[in-house]
Structure 1
Amino acid sequence: MAKILFVMTGSDRWTLADGTQHPTGFWAEEAVTPYEAFRAAGHEVVVATPGGVVPPVDKGSLAAEANGGQEAADRIAGALAGMTELQRPVRLEDVDLADYAAVFYPGGHGPMEDLAVDPVSGRVLVETLGSGKPLGVVCHGPAALLAAVTPDGSNAFAGYRVAAFTNAEELLAGLGEKAKWLLQDRLTEAGVDVRVGEPWAPHVVVDRNLVTGQNPASSAPLAAELLKKLG
């Protein structure tokens, strides 16, 4: 049994271009689906957040319309309640990568607020990438890649092919016009090769030890790819 590190947002808000605070957190399905896949395969999950705060769930991700109906929403909420690891996160600052076989970043708009500028998370990403250990990042989780800066000032993921929440999806979701910046644009500016799939359809990109997914629908196939890499 391997230990898998879930690095999660500690932010329950996302600051928009006009300065207003949009309530957010992590996206429930993007944490639940991989968690269930990893636990079913016999692995242990450890949650880490900046400062060790309990990661807040985006309430919108628990709504029926976000889950294809009330029955699915209830299942996600029930599964989330059973993820006791969420209530006792470790401090990201205390993480020793040597203790983990793989690292996973779920999305939600929360990472746009904190992990995108968190140097500790950036260091964890740089170390994981260099270690060759499987690294999975989904939806808005790739915002964290923006903080993965090497000593020469370049981004550690420059030249890597990734999937991430797209400009088109942000606009379709109704927040693209209000955002300070768009994830696809920022990643591209950092030299990351964003591969765009159809809006809302599963789209996973594998490049070396990095496995990325575009949106919530990509979390299950991403988890399957990570499990393949874990052997």
Structure 2
Amino acid sequence: MSKILFVVTGADTWTLADGTAHPTGFWAEEVVAPFEAFRDAGHEVVVATPGGVVPTVDRASLAPEVNGGRENADRIAAALASFSGLRRPVRLEDVRVEEFAAVFYPGGHGPMEDLAVNGDSGRLLVRALESGMPLGVVCHGPAALLAAVGPDGVNAFAGHEVAAFTNAEEIQGGLADRAPWLLQDRLTEAGLLVRAGEPWAPHVVTDRNLVTGQNPASSAPLAQELLKRLG
């Protein structure tokens, strides 16, 4: 059994371009699908958040219409309730990435608020990348990659091919015109090579030890790819 680190946003709002606070947090499916895959494979999952705050689920991610109906929405809510690590996260600042076999970042708009500018997370990502360990990031989670900048100002992931929540999906989701910045654009500006798939369809990109997924539907196949890399 290996230990897998989940780095989860601690933000419960996202500051929009007009300064208003939009309720957010982590996206339920992007936590549940990988957690269940890793747990069922016999691995231990440890949750870390900035400051060790208990993370907030984006209430929109529990709605039946984004979960294929009420039955699956209820299943995902029950799975979150059973994930005790979410209620007892460790402080991200205290994490030694060397103690883990893999690292995973789920999304939700929360990472756009905190992990995108969190130096502790950025340094952890650089260490994970340099170690060669499997590193999975999904949907808006790649916002955290923006903080992985070296002393020279260059992003450690520059030149890597990645999947991430696309401009098209942000537009279709209805928040693009209110967003302070768009993830696909910001990643591209940082030198990452965003490979966009069809909106809302599963799409996973692998580049060296980095495995990225475009949207919530990509979280389960991304988890399977990480499991293959864990052997």
TM-score over 0.5 (shorter chain): yes
Distance (Å, rounded) in 2 between the aligned partners of 1:177 and 1:74:
31
Q: What secondary structure does 1:212 align onto?
A: strand
Q: Shift of residue 66 of structure 1?
A: 1.2
Of all paired residues, the percent bearing the same amino acid is 77
Q: Shift of residue 155 of structure 1?
A: 0.2
**Match of 1:207, as an amino acid?**
D
Tell me the equivalent position of 1:182: 182
Tell me the equivalent position of 1:38: 38
Q: Shift of residue 86 of structure 1?
A: 0.3
User: Gaps (5+ residues) in structure 1?
Assistant: none
Q: What secondary structure does 1:206 align onto?
A: strand
**Match of 1:53, as an amino acid?**
V
Q: Are 1:84 and 2:84 matched, yes or no?
A: yes
Q: Shift of residue 98 of structure 1?
A: 1.3
Kindly provide the CA deviation profile for residues 91-130 of structure 1, in whole angstroms up to 9, marking residues without a partner as x: 0000011110000000000000000000000000000000
Tell me the equivalent position of 1:159: 159
Distance (Å, rounded) in 2 between the aligned partners of 1:56 and 1:77:
13
Kindly provide the CA deviation profile for residues 188-219 of structure 1, in whole angstroms up to 9, marking residues without a partner as x: 00000000000000000000000000000000
Distance (Å, rounded) in 1 between the aligned partners of 2:9 and 2:178:
21
Distance (Å, rounded) in 2 between the aligned partners of 1:193 and 1:150:
18
Structure 2 counterparts to residues 198-213 of structure 1, below 5 A: 198-213=198-213
- Stretches of 4+ moved more than 3 A in 1? none
Tell me the equivalent position of 2:4: 4
Q: Shift of residue 151 of structure 1?
A: 1.6
Q: Are 1:226 and 2:226 matched, yes or no?
A: yes
Structure 2 counterparts to residues 12-27 of structure 1, below 5 A: 12-27=12-27
Q: What secondary structure does 2:178 align onto?
A: coil
**Match of 1:105, as an amino acid?**
Y
Distance (Å, rounded) in 2 between the aligned partners of 1:185 and 1:153:
18
Q: Shift of residue 6 of structure 1?
A: 0.1
Q: What secondary structure does 1:121 align onto?
A: helix
**Match of 1:79, as an amino acid?**
A
**Match of 2:58, as an amino acid?**
D
**Match of 1:34, as an amino acid?**
P
Tell me the equivalent position of 1:68: 68
Tell me the equivalent position of 2:50: 50
Distance (Å, rounded) in 1 between the aligned partners of 2:27 and 2:124:
21
User: Gaps (5+ residues) in structure 2?
Assistant: none
Q: Shift of residue 68 of structure 1?
A: 1.1
Tell me the equivalent position of 1:114: 114
